[in-house]
Structure 1
């Protein structure tokens, strides 16, 4: 990949079903996820026709998508925690809670010490990944935080490797682990929560207090 700078990247929050006219960005992000999580990291995730998708990719999801000259370079998925999906024997809500309830084969059910929240002001961020562009991970998380702030959200839950929690700390959050570090065939990871922060505007760029630049690498579930 040619050298890309932080300010060369456009970061958008695409909200379904409102932004169906931007569904091409979501499709490209699903293709990017397949390249990162399946092709590069060899995770045994469902994929077809070059894209990775699952039961949480529904038509009430918000996606943070970073792109440059038509190429996806990063992104994440946002789910509200009080939504349910399915009418059969298994009803899904969001990844952290469903893992805690033992609904996800291969995912440790001891991910959280307490039952994960179910309310309209708590959101979950998963499927976070970014190419190694300086400051890109920061911009994706800033965009997610700013979007959640406009909705009046109180907290965002994350699922990822321990390095993800350390990165959140460097970017100005105060992450609270929801349980111990666990592991499966995909590696070591943990769930943690962060309060949604009021963004500040500095030189036209939304930043967090005490935010630090970070070279991003593929992360998370």
Structure 2
């Protein structure tokens, strides 16, 4: 009987691609930077990766162009944690201080705006009480990694080091329950800000962690 072997070819190609990507992970570096500090196009490459994963792969209904996924929280004062091999971005996340607002003063940061019924795509029940506005508290959102590689821990460690360097004491996260469990395993004191929420894209929640001091961070590596 004739058997079509065509489906095996894409699988082989994907495996080959992933082997190459994993090899690059060993040589990657992490940059923490704002748009004004980006001299090599890492932030546009990060926005492109977000579009590829969130929109093209996961099918999220969020604002995007043909190339990039960007929104009102991608601002001049946003800080990006980018994992890259040269100019090729493999993973990243966005940081925003909780005192930040957009130029019109309408939006602050994602978790707070969701609680204040400002975002149609996120429920206000994401938090049990009004999220803080404090210069020592930052928010991390839009965590994304290239499929098949594990870089979330490295992003969290780099985030913690940056936040400690600017005198931050706490970080708020919007992510999956698995991400909160990972942070707990790494030694962070995690606290839910509200109940776990569910939609067609999966389960997510808002939670907070402490920022580790350099001394206490040693035990998380």
- Aligned-partner Cα distance in 1 for 2:38–2:189: 34
In the alignment, is the contact (CA less than 8 A) between 2:35 and 2:43 conserved in 1? no
* Among 172, 186, 202, the residue aligned to 1:157: 172
Superposed CA deviations along residues 106-138 of structure 1, whole A, max 9, x for unmatched, are 21111111110001000000000123334x221
Superposed CA deviations along residues 27-48 of structure 1, whole A, max 9, x for unmatched, are 0000000011111111011111
* Higher relative strand content: 1
Superposed CA deviations along residues 151-176 of structure 1, whole A, max 9, x for unmatched, are 00010000011111111112221211
1:21 pairs with 2:36? no
Superposed CA deviations along residues 53-92 of structure 1, whole A, max 9, x for unmatched, are 000000111000001143211000000001111437xx10
Change (3 A) 1:139 1:208: farther
* Among 149, 161, 167, the residue aligned to 1:133: 149
Structure 2 residue runs without a partner (length 5+): 1-16
Structure of greater relative contact order (alpha carbons < 8 Å, 6+ residues apart): 1
1:37 pairs with 2:54? yes
Runs (4+) of structure 1 moved beyond 4 Å? none
Q: Which residue of 2 aligns with 1:216?
A: none
- Aligned-partner Cα distance in 1 for 2:114–2:123: 6
TM-score scaled by structure 1?
0.85
- Aligned-partner Cα distance in 2 for 1:210–1:28: 29
1:177 pairs with 2:192? yes
TM-score scaled by structure 2?
0.85
In the alignment, is the contact (CA less than 8 A) between 2:24 and 2:85 conserved in 1? no
The CA deviation at 1:97 is 0.1
* Among 29, 46, 70, the residue aligned to 2:87: 70
The CA deviation at 1:20 is 4.0
How many residue pairs are counted as aligned between the two chains?
A: 201
- Aligned-partner Cα distance in 2 for 1:119–1:198: 19
Q: Which residue of 2 aligns with 1:112?
A: 127
Equivalence map 1:30-109=2 (5 Å): 30-87=47-104, 91-109=106-124
The CA deviation at 1:15 is 2.2
